[in-house]
């Protein structure tokens, strides 16, 4: 298994479809929605370190500090890259960037945490058994 260390990178290319547009998020502009772009940066980050996690470990997203810089229309592809820049215990910091071939459309930081998968699923199941609040 490769060692978890700074400079590990992950990437992906994604073609924008109708379901990825801001119009699916109650906006009237048919461009790649920011939440989708953030999710794609999470996927690239997960790819960067996927082969380094021990059995029973997974990562969860903690935060984003990214800027959506330019619009991308339906049918275009975006290339997203993530580079692990810092390891702070179980916290992993990634530099993320996306381009649609014409513009850099996202640039920022994404933070993930390494957690025990079984414990996470157990906590989720316990919470799911509770009555929903505010519902």
Catalytic residue among 9, 23, 34, 52: 34
- Full set of structural domains in the chain with CATH: 9-127 (3.10.129.10)
Pair of tokens at residue 62 = 């903690």
pTM of the model: 0.93
Q: Of 78, 62, 81, which is closest to residue 20 (Cα–Cα)?
A: 78
pLDDT tier at 135, thresholds 50, 70, 90: low
Q: How far is CA 123 from the centre of its chain?
A: 22
pLDDT tier at 78, thresholds 50, 70, 90: very high
Q: What is the pLDDT of residues 40-70, one digit of tens each?
A: 999 999 999 999 999 999 999 999 999 999 9
Mean pLDDT of 5-34: 96
Catalytic residue among 68, 72, 97, 110: 68
pLDDT tier at 2, thresholds 50, 70, 90: confident
Catalytic residue among 42, 59, 64, 72: 42
- Give percent above pLDDT 90 in the chain: 92
Instruction: For residue 88, indicate whether it is catalytic.
Output: no
Instruction: For residue 68, indicate whether it is catalytic.
Output: yes
The angle at the Cα of 6, spanning 5 to 12, to the nearest 5 degrees, equals 105
Instruction: For residue 23, indicate whether it is catalytic.
Output: no
CA distances from 133 to 54, 126, 129 (A): 35, 14, 12
Q: What is the pLDDT of residues 22-42, one digit of tens each?
A: 999 999 999 999 999 999 999
């Amino acid at each position: 298994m490769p060692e978890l260390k700074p400079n590990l990178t992950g990437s992906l290319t994604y073609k924008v479809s109708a379901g990825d547009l801001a119009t699916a998020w109650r906006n009237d502009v048919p461009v790649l929605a920011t939440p989708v772009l953030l999710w794609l940066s999470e996927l690239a980050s997960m790819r960067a370190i996927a082969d380094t996690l021990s059995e029973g470990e997974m990562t969860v997203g903690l935060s984003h500090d990214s800027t959506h810089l330019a619009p991308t229309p339906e049918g275009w592809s975006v290339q997203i890259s993530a580079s692990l820049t810092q390891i702070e215990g179980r916290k992993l910091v990634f530099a993320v960037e996306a381009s649609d071939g014409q513009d850099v459309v996202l640039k920022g930081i994404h933070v993930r945490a390494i957690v025990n998968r079984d414990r996470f699923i157990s906590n989720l199941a316990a919470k799911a058994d509770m009555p929903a609040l505010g519902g």
